[in-house]
Structure 1
Amino acid sequence: MTQTFRLAGLLRLRQLEQDEAAGDLAAANARVAETADRQSKARTDLETTGSEPTGPETLAAIAASRAAARTLLADLEALERTRRESAEQAQAAFSTARARSIGLEKLEAKHTVREAAADLRAEQLFLDELTSSARHAARGAGR
């Protein structure tokens, strides 16, 4: 007769916490990647901006465009630092959640092994009893 793992509810809770932390980590990593892509695009745009002024108006426009692009890059770098910090915090939260559930998972595995061994012992005892009863019945019929 198999007993249920007494800490199964707690284990499920810990696994849900771990899954939530994994989702938060994935979202944080996606935000970091999105910011890196935006930075790359801004750098590419800055590098490919035409630099051949045809007059004072275009020279002023090019200068303003480059200044705006540099400001955007600085903002994106600050955003990237913030998002990387958030991703590091999410990684720490995931690691903590994983550590909290792994001990319970090991206990559950040991419980499962013990229960399987107990089931096998009970089955073996039952088979031994059947064999013993059959021998006893055969001896009684032989007399």
Structure 2
Amino acid sequence: MSAPFRLAGLLRLRRLNEDAAAARWGSAAAEHRAARSRRDDLYGRAVAGDTTPDSVASLRAIAAARSSTVALLAELDAATMTAEQAERDLRDAWTAARTATAGLEKLEERHDERTAHAELAADQAALDELAVTRHGRGPTP
């Protein structure tokens, strides 16, 4: 019978923490991509806009639209930078969680190897004992 890995509960907890960190990182990455996409889309529309004014009123409207677009682009740039930083922080948190899990996984692997080796040694000892006992009895009919 193999001995249970004594840190199995801690390893399960670390794996759960790692999975949660990966989920948070994935969510932050999606938010970052969405913010960057909104910003890039607005930049594209601002550059592609028709700027040939027909009158003074349309020139003022274009100036007002450009002004609000610049303000919106500044907000989107800030949101993109914030989302990028959040993604970076959560990626670092996942890396730390993965590192903590990996150490315990290596311990578990070593434990499993030692347990398997001990079981094989016990089986071999039993076979050796059977061979010695059988050899002492003489030939079998």
Who is 1:11 aligned against?
A: 11
1:75 aligned onto 2:75: yes
TM superposition shift of 1:78: 0.7
Moved over 3 A (4+): none
- Partner of 1:121 in structure 2? 121
Q: Indicate yes or no: 2:64 matched with 1:64.
A: yes
Paired residue type of 1:67: S
Structure-1 residue corresponding to 2:137: 137
Q: Which runs of 5+ in 2 are unaligned?
A: none
1:35-72 residue CA offsets vs partner (Å, 9 max, x unmatched): 11111100100011111111122212211211111111
TM-score normalised by length of structure 1 = 0.92
* Equivalent position of 2:26 in the other structure: 26
Residue 133 of structure 1 and its aligned partner are, at CA, apart by 2.2
Deviation at residue 121 of structure 1 after TM alignment = 0.4
Percent identity, aligned pairs only, is: 36
SS in 1 for 2:138: helix
Tell me how large the CA RMSD over aligned residues is: 1.5
1:18 partner amino acid: E
Q: Give the letter aligned to residue 26 of structure 1.
A: G
Partner residue of 1:42?
42
Q: Work out the CA distance in 2 between the residues paired with 1:126 and 1:91.
A: 52
The unaligned stretches of length 5 or more in structure 1 are none
Q: Quote the Cα distance in structure 2 between the aligned partners of 1:68 and 1:45.
A: 13
2:6 counterpart SS class? coil
Number of residues of Structure 1 aligned to a counterpart in Structure 2: 141
